[in-house]
Structure 1
Amino acid sequence: MTTTLHELLDTHIAGGSVPGAVGLVARGGRVEVATAGTACLAGTAPMRRDSLFRLASITKPIVAAAAMTLVEDGLIALADPVAAWLPELASPLVVRTPQSPVDDVVSAVRPITLLDLLNFRAGYGFPSDFSLPAVAPLFTELKQGPPRPRAVIAPDAWMAALSRIPLLHQPGEGWLYNTCSDILGVLIARVADRPLPAYLAERLFGPLGMTDTGFAVGPAARDRFTCHYRAGADSGSDPVLVDAPDGQWSSPPAFPSGAGGLVSTVDDWYAFGRMLLGGGLNDDGERVLAARSVRQMITDHLTPEQRAASGLFTEGQGWGFGGSVDIEIAAPWNVLGRYGWIGGTGTTAHIVPSTGTVAVLLTQLELSGPAAPRVMRDFWTYAAGF
């Protein structure tokens, strides 16, 4: 049994679970940070506290928070149909049943709203069954899946492609993963009338001191940027390099992905988590987000039936805005009200309002499926007992 965070990370690296990792657990005034392993297997550079990682889906809570600033500014309301800014979604079609072919469609019974995008019930996204006909275009046309910044077309063309893909469910009826956050990123840019990276920098990254967070890594910071790997085809084989520091994130993308495009450090996400725990205030006491907005983000919005249907992704837990919400004690790491998410590139970040905890683990090994790997589950158990 490990007694420190460093021991936990070392155990998994020695066992071949991950090449390297940076972990942080904080509660109140106590903070424990550990680094272990290497940034790239081919080199000797050790992992550092300020090492940069591809966040993948723990981008989602950040983008949800940005959307809430637009609500607070009175530029859009949760109940507003998004077609006023996304005319591509003015007349969406829905497959007759989830199993129907993509040309067997009916009209949507109501418009898609901002709330639908925030709680992932707009009708677009991944169900537990990836083989459904209406899911395939999400991969082929929109390049959904593991983040590939250079493979995705620009927002206007992306939205045009999206408009030709039918919804899997009527708006509001079913929870579906991922795509809503990418749509949300486009919506934020259009409502704010500025690119998504610029808006995030102005309203979140600047006020929170998240100086290392963005959609690309320039030459000056590239020595801190980790390699990204996928597990080898055979048990015991070496991980396969997916992306190097001078690869997909070396220049700004045409499509800044609100679902998974950010690069960051453990301390930057910690700053974001502290803001949520502080009811929307940064460390200087300045308001970044309204307390009401934070409460809405970290509250479960799903029905019991929708939670059950999301099983592969949330394992039956709830969903707020951009992240899951623990609603029952189902494992040693579950804590009622815990909010956060995991990223397919090997990242996880949560807050626990009841205990004032922030827990962030960044690794560079891609997940093999929706289920969290053992290193994450052991980390969550450690954080729950911190």
Structure 2
Amino acid sequence: MAEVTTIQVSDVLAAYVAGGNAPGALALVSRGDEVTVRIEGSADVEGTSPLRRDTIFRIGAMTVPIVAAAALMLAEEDRLGLDDPVDLWLPELATREVLRSWTAEIDDTVPAKSPVTLRHLLTNTWGFGLFFGAGDAPLRRAANELRVLNGPPIPEHSDSPDEWLRRLGELPLVHQPGEGWMYSVGADVLGILLSRASGQALEVFLQERVFDPLGMVDTGFAVPAEKLDRVPPAYSRDPRGGELDVYDPGSWGSEWRERPAYPSAAGGLVSTADDLLAFGRLLRSGGRANDEWLLTRRSVAAMTTDQLPPAARANARFFPGFFEDHGWGFGLAVTPSGRFGWDGGLGTSFWVDPASDTIGILLTQRSGMLVQTELYRDFWAVLDA
């Protein structure tokens, strides 16, 4: 990567840190076989712990593309069909009812026109998710009471996957399968589907099919004791005073020090810059890694191409304006230029640009979506220059 670009990347990170947005930030940029890492700031607000290339980050929703890739592996083996009902594996979701409108009472429903499929889960169009802009709708209140709307994951504070899905199955869908787009919840359903269809715990399945073949040695739902010193604190911003508060203390105090009761496919993984680079290279190469085809080119092409039908795009509920210049493939966002990837709500971002053979990874530990924020825009503006 040209020296001027590396300097500019450092400037972008430094400005973000100097603005008090996070104690430190790491960027990894890969172009072809050339990899550059830039680090600004430190791992904690006190400035006592260094941020390093092998720092283990909570990657939040960047978990979703990894799980989606694993789902496509099962689809290639005909163990799951993209357009087959998931009822066999997820009977809790059989015979769905759908609200007549967003604001309807939860018993004011009509039958679902079609069953939920793997395709629906991969594209966030299965009928339920986080209630962006829904106000105090009756279904939102009911979902909160049943504790099915997962926020940033706290591994020790969760029910079993089966119990969570049982409660979710008590609620109607917000829209007909395939006719709307709602974020996050479908990814957790997808994780349960993979576990049941594979006959393995989700973390075991991902380890065998994704992490081990790619050499992702620091990725998982928990951090072993010998690596806890590489887990930095995670922060959130106090909405009253604006200062950074500790969300998770990191190291030996981290909630990620033990296996969670519920490994969240929507946001539970930890990883490192180099592990994420390995996953990015898998997708950039069309599914090949270490002389082995983990996915077919056809599956990767489908995963990284906009899959949203017009009705789903028209009825999408997310950040205003997002779908004006983004589409959604299988487990990740795509742009008209062909760039694809996703961001994590705990301060992480991962995108691949096939046109320039570039993989860009941004890592902090400060909660708040990076989508369309100044840091994200400035980072890619430098890489696109």
> TM-score, with normalisation over the residues of structure 1?
0.92
Out of 195, 204, 219, the residue aligned to residue 189 of structure 1 is 195
Deviation at 1:143, TM superposition (A): 4.2
Q: 1:315-342, CA deviations, whole angstroms, 9 ceiling, x for partnerless residues?
A: 4310001111102xxxxxxxx1111111
The answer to whether the Cα contact below 8 Å between 1:38 and 1:47 also exists between their aligned partners in 2 is yes
1:319 maps to which of 328, 332, 353: 328
Q: Is the 8 A contact 1:143 1:151 kept in 2?
A: no
2:360 equivalent to 1:355: no
* Aligned pair partner of 1:103 in 101, 107, 120: 107
Structure 1 residue runs without a partner (length 5+): 328-335
Correspondence 1:291 to 2:297: yes
Which residue matches 2:50?
A: 46
Q: How far apart in 1 are the matches of 2:254 and 2:266?
A: 19
Structure-2 separation of matches of 1:297 and 1:171: 19
Q: 1:323 and 1:21 mapped to 2: Cα distance?
A: 23
Partner of 1:264: 271
Q: CA deviation at 1:137?
A: 4.0
Task: Write the letter of the residue equivalent to 1:374.
Answer: E
| Shift in alpha-carbon separation, 1:20–1:138, aligned structure 2, 3 A | farther
Choose the corresponding residue for 2:80, options 66, 76, 81. 76
Distance 1:230 1:357, change over 3 A: same
- Relative to structure 1, is the Cα distance of residues 170 and 178 closer, same or farther in structure 2, using a 3 angstrom cutoff? same
TM-score when scaled to structure 2? 0.93
User: Aligned equivalents of 1:212 and 1:383: distance in 2?
Assistant: 27
Displacement of 1:43: 5.4
Q: What corresponds to 1:278 in structure 2?
A: 285
Code of the aligned partner of 1:280 = G
Kindly indicate whether the alpha-carbon contact (under 8 Å) linking 1:125 and 1:138 is maintained by their aligned counterparts in 2.
Answer: no
Aligned identity (percent) is 42
SS in 2 for 1:350: strand
Is contact 1:228–1:244 with CA below 8 Å preserved after alignment?
A: yes
Residues 36 and 46, structure 1, Cα contact 8 Å, conserved in 2: no
**Matched AA of 2:8:** T
Between the two proteins, the alignment pairs up a number of residues equal to 374
Maintained 8 Å contact 1:139/1:145: no
Deviation by residue 1:153-182 (Cα, 9 ceiling, x = unmatched) = 101111101101111001111011111100
What SS does the aligned partner of 1:182 have? helix
SS at match of 1:94: strand
Match of 2:204?
198
Contact kept, 8 Å, 1:215 with 1:261, in 2: the verdict is: yes
CA displacement 1:96-145 (0-9 Å, x = unmatched) = 11221222122211110111101111001124324233234444422412
Partner of 2:138: 133
Label 1:259 to 1:138 Cα distance change in 2 as closer, same or farther (>3 A). Answer: farther
For 1:209 and 1:139, locate their aligned partners in 2 and report how far apart those are by CA, in whole Å.
Answer: 39
Residue pairs, 1:30-41, within 5 angstroms:
30-41=34-45
> Distance in 2 between the 1:370 and 1:346 partners?
6
Alpha-carbon contact 2:339-2:351 (below 8 Å) kept: yes
SS at match of 1:13: helix
2:248 to 236, 240, 243: 243
State the match for 2:340 in structure 1. 339
Distance 1:161 1:127 in 2: 17
2:298 and 2:175 map into 1 onto residues whose CA distance is 29
Q: Distance in 1 between matches of 2:299 and 2:212?
A: 19
Letter in 1 for 2:350: A
Q: Contact 2:343/2:371 (CA < 8 Å) preserved in 1?
A: no
Aligned 8 A contact 2:42 2:49 in 1: yes
Bigger drift between 340-349 and 144-153 goes to: 144-153
Q: Is the contact made by 2:234 and 2:365 (CA closer than 8 Å) also made in structure 1? A: yes
> How many Å apart are 1:64 and its aligned residue?
0.2
